[in-house]
Chains A and B, each alone.
Chain A
Amino acid sequence: MPEPRWFRVLRVVGLTLLTMFTVVPLYVMVTSALKPLGAVRDRFQWLPEDLTFQPFMDMWSTIDLADYFINSAVVALGAALVSLTLAILAAYAVSRYRFRGRDGFRIVVLSTQMFPGILFLLPLYLIYATIGRYTGIELYGSQLGLIVTYLTFSLPFAIWMMVGYFDTIPRDLDEAALIDGASPVGALWRVVLPAARPGIAAVGIYAFMTAWGETLFASIMTDSDSRTLAVGLREYSTETSVYWNEVMAASLVVSIPVVIGFLALQRYLAQGLTAGAVK
């Protein structure tokens, strides 16, 4: 159908405005990361006069950025891997078996989004401290504690999305494997997982992003040895001033891995989210 003129005008105007809304903050972020400190402390300029990569060098020494980076990477990778594994197992059950409690699964997933983090932050901290006292497993202030915490944040939607992907894989495939003598776990491993590869990557990046960006629990559950980027980046602001160019440079470096991963896999992410919602 030919598009009416009003629609084409609306599209150009609307998309231009949305593009500006999206791009202007990103543009300010990138250009400010390339300005010398004097320039970001002056009145803002749209076209920077001199560009420098100095902030990208200096940002490592102003705060312990490398340490925070490593902590965040360890925590996010650990949480993503475990969350993904647990999600695959659980989603396989939900997708392939009928069992008691299966139908309540979607409600349970949605209701986990309802829990105010602030309500279970303090008790969780006390529970971790208690576990540490009795078993010697240090969960408070450690990377392990953050991994355990964060993996549960992404787990509900990770299962939700995995069920969506598994449902699109014909059951005949794994039933054929079962008839050929594979165990159910063998069928999952050899037949279902290879077919769900893009979905697995998408859920993995989602779980990674969740852990990479978490702030509330990181602000309480980390000490100076386990501090993550979410808390650490605030150290660029001192009582008297902020190293805005280094903040923007560090933000840029910190964002790039997740932005690339997310954009590469967004199609599959969207598929999984809506597939879970429609049924």
Chain B
Amino acid sequence: MTSTAAPSPASTAAPPEPPARRRWSPSRRMLPYLLVAPALCFELLVHLLPMLGGLYMSLLELTQFYLRDWLNAPLAGVANFSFALDFNSAVGVTLLRSFAVTAGFSVLTVGLSWLLGVFAATLLQRSFRGRAVLRTLFLVPYALPVYTAAMIWKFLLDQDDGMVNATLGGLGLTDGQTFWLLGDNAFLATVATATWRLWPFAFLVLMAGMQSIPHDVYESATVDGAGLWQQFRSITLPMLRPVNQVLVLVLFLWTFNDFNVPYILFDKSVPNAANLLSIHIYNNSFITWNFGLGSAMSTLLLLFLLVVTAGYLAFTSRRMKDA
């Protein structure tokens, strides 16, 4: 990379700076940009450029007739948006319902995952026998590829041969014939599957966050006579705030955009109660081949997430400063 031998002609021409052995390495000012550039290029190619393309497509009349030559599709203005948001038509109503289902799914899954995660991390905070084993065990569902996790739940919840119906029926709690993957139950099935796989992530991050809280804080609280519950409320939770800020946001974004769980659980026929926005837009786009409309719906989804994220970050950052 750098060579100290053989001064090159250029360095003799312009003597004092830069030193000869730094000649072929880029200047210190340029280097960080060069190091970041490859990562940036790929992100631009796969994320930013297509996203701009998607925003543009949402303004086109991009039905199946124009797909082959999409750059020449006629402009539709905001027609796609007003169509998607026309709550007097079937398209608007199903989109609104899908939004409500997604919001419910996301809030429940994030809430449950966080609660289970903080519960388990607190119980495992102090050392005892078997702690390391449990810690590893709890992480297994998150380590599974998401499609195998969803496949397992699809099998568990199978109406005829599934474990859940066999057990509930065997115990006499139900007749053992419940359709978990049809109708309104499908919502519960989706939340259960997503939570099962996601809570270990909350657990992993919260556990690492708790480990970075110094021991002596707890010790002096004990000396002051604070009970375990008080310590949890006045030490653990406040100290976890920076970790929670990012964790809850990421969990929210992941669940709100979730595609995998309903895609694997229900194949092509997704029940209304589990029709998350991503799969709703996906199926809509590929059934009607109206990519303009699909892009408009995706754009609305992005706008919503943008507003929520900005509001969330502003709100939580101010609270952290106040604290």
Chain A residues in the interface with B (C-beta under 8 A): 1, 3-4, 7, 10-11, 14-15, 18-19, 21-26, 28-29, 32, 40-45, 86-87, 89-90, 92-94, 96-97, 99, 102, 110-124, 126-127, 148-149, 151-152, 155-156, 159, 181-186, 209, 212-213, 215-216, 219, 229-230, 233-234, 237, 244, 247-248, 251-252, 254-255, 258-259, 262-263, 266, 269-271, 273-274, 277-278
- Tell whether, in the assembled complex, residue A278 and residue B151 are in contact, meaning their CB atoms are under 8 Å apart: no
Q: Which residues of B contact A230 (CB under 8 A)?
A: 145, 147
- Tell whether, in the assembled complex, residue B57 and residue A155 are in contact, meaning their CB atoms are under 8 Å apart: no
- Give the A-B pair count, Cβ closer than 8 A: 286
Of B143, B151, B299, which contacts A251 at CB under 8 A?
A: B151
Chain B interface size, under 10 / 10 to 19 / 20 to 34 / 35 or more: 35 or more
Chain B residues in the interface with A (C-beta under 8 A): 1-2, 4, 21-22, 25, 28-29, 31-33, 35-36, 38-40, 42-43, 45-47, 49-54, 56-57, 70, 116, 119-120, 123-124, 126, 128, 134, 136-148, 151-153, 155-156, 158, 161-163, 165-167, 196, 204-205, 207-209, 212, 218-219, 222, 227-228, 242-243, 245-247, 249-250, 253-254, 257, 259-260, 263-264, 267, 277-278, 281-282, 285, 291, 294-295, 298-299, 301-302, 305-306, 309
Q: Which residues of B contact A126 (CB under 8 A)?
A: 53, 70
Of A124, A184, A213, A244, which contacts B50 at CB under 8 A?
A: A124
Q: Which residues of B contact A271 (CB under 8 A)?
A: 208
- Tell whether, in the assembled complex, residue B309 and residue A111 are in contact, meaning their CB atoms are under 8 Å apart: yes
CA of A215 to CA of B249, assembled, Å: 22
Min CB distance B62 to A, Å, is: 9
CA of A244 to CA of B154, assembled, Å: 10
Q: Which residues of A contact B167 (CB under 8 A)?
A: 44
Min CB distance B173 to A, Å, is: 15
Min CB distance B13 to A, Å, is: 22
Q: Which residues of A contact B42 (CB under 8 A)?
A: 86, 148, 151-152, 155
